[in-house]
Amino acid sequence: AHRRAGKTVACIRDLERAALRNGRLSPPPRYAYIAPLYSQGKDAAWVYLKQGARQIPDAKVNESDLIVTYPNGATCRIYGADNPDRLRGPYLDGVVLDESADMKPEAYEEVISPQLADFSGWAVFIGTPKGRDAFYKIWVRACENPDKWYALKLPVSETKLISE
């Protein structure tokens, strides 16, 4: 999808909904938004995650760790892919990888994907392609496997959100 299409906001709302609807009690559900850099995640998504939390009674916002804890115990946290080792360890129920064209493919393949395996978690890759890179390869894979993947393309020529 093109720049300013609302990808980040839409995906943060999906993470919130998933966290609130997950009924697993133990271990508590975990969701993540991952940007290429931690500072990008904080700048691009943290404000939206906090805004959503303000609408949910008893949601707790942790400013220092960029994490929201919902009344059911589920969490949603902002990470950066610039330090993949920081991501290692915890399981994840769902993840959004924003601007994934700017991430090293190993971050998903070696670190994030195994974290999703514990609870059959899901991943969403969003961004604007930058040539035939890893993000493009994911796009092709999704288009070739519509029974396992969902692919959506939103060019500005169709959305008309930005004038010429």
Under the banding of pLDDT at 50, 70 and 90, the label for residue 84 is confident
Q: Give per-residue pLDDT as tens, 112-124.
A: 999 999 999 999 9
pLDDT at 164 over 60: no
Residue type, 69: T
| Higher-scoring residue by pLDDT: 100, 157 | 100
pLDDT in tens, 22-80: 999 999 999 999 999 999 999 999 999 999 999 999 999 999 999 999 999 999 999 99
What secondary structure, in 3-state letters, does the chain show?
Answer: CCCCCCHHHHHHHHHHHHHHHCCCCCCCCEEEEEECCHHHHHHHHHHHHHHHHHCCCCCEEECCCCEEECCCCCEEEEEECCCHHHHCCCCCCEEEEECHHHCCHHHHHHHHHHHHHCCCCEEEEECCCCCCCHHHHHHHHHHHCCCCCCCCCCCHHHHCCCCC
